[in-house]
């Protein structure tokens, strides 16, 4: 008996495709993978439905599948439903949504068998003779693990013991068996802190709702002990046999954070981020699916990890922009996490020192419960903040006298200093002194950034690289000068100004190598590096106890940006960096250099703090009917020719206007803020609506027509629901 399978195929078309199978319907389950030939290439599809072929169906035009890859559904029902929801909500083709949800090796069709390793178990037999020390040590150890333990873990605890184990096996005292390979646990666990009352209250609040859907926003200043709350709650939840999913931002370092969980919890912790090999990611996903991994810590895409025994989802730094995917399927992991938690009836704990306006709004609407940690956990005091006018600073490198003087003081006292500048490279502008020519990217509406060490000009928007020029291409003058400062220049200047002090730079250029970041962090922690110069990467969640001075250089661009989230992001960033000062028992100090020290933003942030600033910003958004109060969707197009993108979006506008509706406002099309990027011209159309439903209905109604419009074939277009920027 044959059947027809409806298959989600990784392609931009918004439909399922029918294929024939020689097996009957009841041999198929939704969530199995098949290999098929699609448009003359072999690819992996996901079975969504199967139905037996009956006489009235003409199957002559259908192709057969090439291969059935799974005997049982690879994708559990809950994940299948989540991906279906994601596809509907983000108006993204289903087949591509599965691509985002599966680890690479699984979406490429590799086996879904778990990798096995050797485990050792004690038998019921007792030895009647005295054993050698090493053999006895093995027996003693295995006594503590009645369910067996891996050879790798035994080696980690006892050293090389294979020959002793083999000898014991001969005596029938132990036996070996293959078992799914688990991540190796930390050898020594650390003793937990006695939590303070505030922390206990937070834990109690979540614990009370452990069997129901409840989002919590944990607002806790940096250093207030949020991570400690996460580990404690995780320990309690897994003690009940449940799993905990912990999402962390994508940026550089997760090592420190993960270590704190490994040191606290005697359980199987799986890490899923970009530093983990494809093989380990697959194994981690499968271990979670089998319920063998109890704690899953991962970046954005980990939100799609199967959790048969889900008990809690934690989202650290919930405001972080890396939770929103910027290309392909533009999903927000916080959003997906909430949907999953809702379906499963479990709580979600979202923590941040600088909550997003979205989440603060949800608190106002009483959809999220607010929990707060207002004091630093270890008793450290908050830093003193000074704002100074950067126009008085050194014209070339931009460091002010006051900042340099304070750096000397803090360094002389044996402490560390962080200088934060959100621009990598040497200098953002290369200009000809004679004719005024500036180095611009050929492919973007952007300047080329000077990277002196690599002797190149580099476009940070498209990656275009050019040799550093020696003469002006316009007038051949040799008077080329660079202006402004990036991390590389600041590093160089500081090496000259502080010749006896180790300076380390932390940005994307210095941390590309795997583990580079961890190595730098180790240097910082051991005090080898005394001055740290870096971008955003330095702003996030690190716990450096000897940093007592933080300098913030030239971050004002956010105050003039056309992006509606720029001020929110600036407030978050400044607050996060500021939180790096004085984490240990030493008092911290912060110096912010600004082009516009009189801007009311600064007074609000410094005098009244993040929360008040955020509340004012939220009120502005409410007054102007912007997100999170209203719902936005952006349709973007990019094309080889300038007019193509605009023409297409004009056509989209007509299609959207073809039905009567009064709720959705359609604005544009307009060229993107940076119109040309990577050699393509970009334009966008903004759809706004007070309610969510009419907006989504309008898109549902017309998306097929938009996709099959004749102009659509000549360009790339996409829909971005709840865009992070415009």
**Binding residue numbers for Zn(2+):** 432, 435, 441, 444, 459, 462, 472, 475
Geometric angle at alpha carbon 595, from 589 and 600, rounded to 5°: 80
Minimal distance, residue 222 CB to ligand ADP, in Å: 5
The strand ranges marked E within 22-59 are 33-38, 41-52
Identify residues 419-448 at the interface with Zn ion (CB under 5 A).
432, 434-435, 437, 441, 443-444
Q: Which element (helix H / strand E) includes 703?
A: helix 692-707
For ligand ADP, which is the closer residue by CB, 584 or 627? 584
Geometric angle at alpha carbon 565, from 574 and 357, rounded to 5°: 80
Count, residues near ligand ADP per rule CB under 6 A? 15
Contact 77, 29 (CB under 8 A): no
Minimal distance, residue 511 CB to Zn ion, in Å: 22
Q: Which element (helix H / strand E) includes 368?
A: none
Identify residues 228-247 at the interface with ligand ADP (CB under 6 A).
228
Contact 226, 219 (CB under 8 A): no
CB-hemisphere CA count at 13 Å for 419?
A: 32
Contact of residue 432 among ligand ADP, Zn ion, none (CB under 5-8 Å per partner type): Zn ion
How is residue 28 written in tokens? 């198929």
Residue 352 binds ligand ADP, judged by CB under 6 A: no
For ligand ADP, which is the closer residue by CB, 92 or 580? 580
Identify residues 367-396 at the interface with ligand ADP (CB under 6 A).
377-378
- To which residue do tokens 């069709």 refer? 109
Q: Residue 50 pairs with which residues in a beta bridge?
A: 5
Contact 341, 242 (CB under 8 A): no
Among residues 156, 211, 392, 475, the one that binds Zn ion under rule CB under 5 A: 475
For ligand ADP, which is the closer residue by CB, 199 or 359? 199
Minimal distance, residue 88 CB to ligand ADP, in Å: 35
Identify residues 524-553 at the interface with ligand ADP (CB under 6 A).
543
Contact of residue 64 among Zn ion, ligand ADP, none (CB under 5-8 Å per partner type): none
Minimal distance, residue 448 CB to Zn ion, in Å: 8
Interface with ligand ADP by CB under 6 A: which range of 191-199, 492-500, 623-631, 632-640?
191-199
Separation between Cα atoms, residue 316 and residue 325, nearest integer Å: 17
How is residue 718 written in tokens? 């996409």
Interface with ligand ADP by CB under 6 A: which range of 79-87, 95-103, 223-231, 276-284?
223-231
For ligand ADP, which is the closer residue by CB, 93 or 225? 225
Q: Which residues contribute to the annotated binding site?
A: 432, 435, 441, 444, 459, 462, 472, 475
Among residues 108, 193, 277, 643, the one that binds ligand ADP under rule CB under 6 A: 193
Nearest alpha carbon to residue 70 among 34, 103, 25:
34
Q: Which element (helix H / strand E) includes 127?
A: none
- Other C-beta atoms closer than 10 Å to the C-beta of 443 total 16
How is residue 489 written in tokens? 């220049």
The two most distant CA atoms of the chain are separated, in Å, by 95
Contact of residue 668 among Zn ion, ligand ADP, none (CB under 5-8 Å per partner type): none
Q: Residue 593 pairs with which residues in a beta bridge?
A: 388
Contact of residue 112 among Zn ion, ligand ADP, none (CB under 5-8 Å per partner type): none
* Residues 6+ away with beta carbon under 8 Å from 520: 504, 506, 510, 511, 529
Among residues 45, 183, 215, 220, the one that binds ligand ADP under rule CB under 6 A: 220
Among residues 246, 439, 459, 493, the one that binds Zn ion under rule CB under 5 A: 459
Q: Which residues bind ligand ADP (CB under 6 A)?
A: 193, 195-196, 199, 220, 222-228, 377-378, 543
């Amino acid at each position: 008996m044959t059947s027809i399978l409806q298959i989600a195929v990784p392609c931009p078309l918004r439909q399922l495709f029918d294929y024939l199978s020689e097996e009957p319907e009841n041999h198929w389950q939704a969530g199995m993978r098949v290999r098929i030939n699609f448009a003359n290439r072999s690819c992996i599809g996901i079975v969504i439905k199967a139905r037996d072929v009956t006489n009235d169906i003409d199957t002559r035009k259908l192709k057969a599948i090439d291969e059935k890859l799974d005997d049982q559904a690879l994708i559990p029902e809950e994940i299948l439903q989540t991906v279906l929801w994601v596809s509907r909500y983000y108006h993204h083709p289903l087949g591509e949504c599965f691509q985002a949800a599966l680890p690479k090796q699984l979406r490429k069709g590799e086996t879904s068998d778990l990798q096995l390793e050797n485990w050792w178990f004690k038998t019921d037999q007792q030895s009647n003779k005295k054993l050698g020390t090493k053999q006895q040590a093995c027996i003693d150890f295995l006594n503590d693990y009645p369910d067996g333990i891996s050879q790798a873990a035994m080696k980690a605890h006892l050293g090389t013991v294979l020959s002793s184990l083999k000898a014991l096996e001969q005596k029938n005292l132990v036996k070996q068996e293959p078992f799914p390979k688990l991540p190796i646990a930390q050898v020594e666990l650390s003793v937990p802190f006695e939590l303070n009352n505030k922390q206990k209250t937070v834990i109690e609040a979540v614990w009370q709702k452990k069997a129901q859907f409840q989002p919590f926003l944990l607002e806790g200043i940096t250093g207030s002990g949020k991570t400690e709350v996460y580990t404690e709650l995780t320990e309690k939840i897994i003690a009940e046999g449940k799993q905990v999913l912990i999402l962390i931002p994508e940026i550089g370092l997760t090592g420190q954070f993960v270590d704190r969980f490994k040191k606290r919890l005697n359980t199987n912790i799986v890490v899923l981020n970009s530093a983990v090999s494809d093989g380990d990611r697959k194994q981690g996903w499968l271990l979670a699916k089998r319920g063998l991994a109890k704690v899953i810590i991962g970046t954005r895409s980990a939100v799609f990890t199967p959790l048969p025994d889900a008990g809690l989802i934690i989202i650290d730094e919930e405001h972080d922009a890396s939770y929103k995917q910027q290309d392909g399927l533009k999903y927000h992991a916080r959003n997906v996490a909430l949907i999953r938690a809702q379906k499963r009836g479990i709580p979600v704990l979202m923590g941040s020192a600088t909550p997003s306006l979205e989440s603060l709004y949800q608190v106002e609407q009483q959809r999220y419960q607010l929990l707060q940690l207002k004091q630093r956990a270890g008793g450290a005091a908050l830093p003193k903040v000074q704002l100074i006018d950067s126009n008085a600073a050194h014209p070339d490198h931009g460091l002010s006298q006051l900042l340099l003087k304070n750096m000397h003081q803090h360094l002389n006292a044996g402490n560390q200093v962080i200088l934060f500048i959100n621009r990598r490279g040497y200098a953002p502008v290369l200009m000809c002194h004679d004719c005024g020519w500036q180095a611009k990217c050929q492919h973007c509406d952007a300047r080329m950034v000077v990277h002196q060490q690599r002797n190149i000009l580099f476009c940070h928007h498209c990656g275009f690289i050019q040799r550093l020029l020696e003469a002006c291409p316009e007038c051949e003058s040799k008077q080329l000068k660079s202006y402004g400062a990036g991390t590389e220049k600041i590093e160089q200047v500081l090496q000259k100004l502080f010749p006896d002090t180790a300076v380390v730079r932390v940005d994307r250029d210095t941390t590309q190598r795997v583990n580079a970041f961890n190595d730098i962090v180790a240097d910082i922690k051991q005090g080898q590096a005394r001055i740290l110069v870096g971008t955003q990467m330095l702003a996030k969640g690190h716990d450096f106890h000897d940093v007592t001075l933080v300098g913030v250089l030239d971050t004002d661009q956010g105050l003039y940006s056309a992006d509606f989230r720029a001020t929110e992001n600036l407030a978050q960033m400044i607050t996060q960096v500021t939180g790096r000062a004085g984490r240990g028992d030493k008092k911290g100090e912060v110096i912010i250099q600004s082009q516009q020290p009189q801007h009311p933003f600064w007074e609000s942030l410094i005098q009244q703090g993040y929360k008040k600033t955020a509340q004012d910003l939220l009120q502005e958004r409410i007054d102007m009917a912007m997100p999170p109060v209203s719902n936005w969707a952006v349709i973007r197009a990019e094309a080889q020719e300038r007019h193509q993108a605009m023409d297409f979006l004009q056509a989209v506008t007509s299609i959207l206007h073809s039905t009567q509706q009064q709720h959705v406002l359609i604005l544009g099309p307009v060229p993107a803020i940076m119109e040309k990027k990577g050699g393509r011209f970009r334009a966008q159309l903004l759809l706004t609506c007070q309610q969510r439903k009419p907006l989504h209905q309008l898109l549902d109604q017309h998306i097929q027509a938009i996709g099959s419009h004749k102009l659509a074939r000549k360009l790339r277009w996409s829909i971005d629901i709840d865009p992070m920027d415009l």
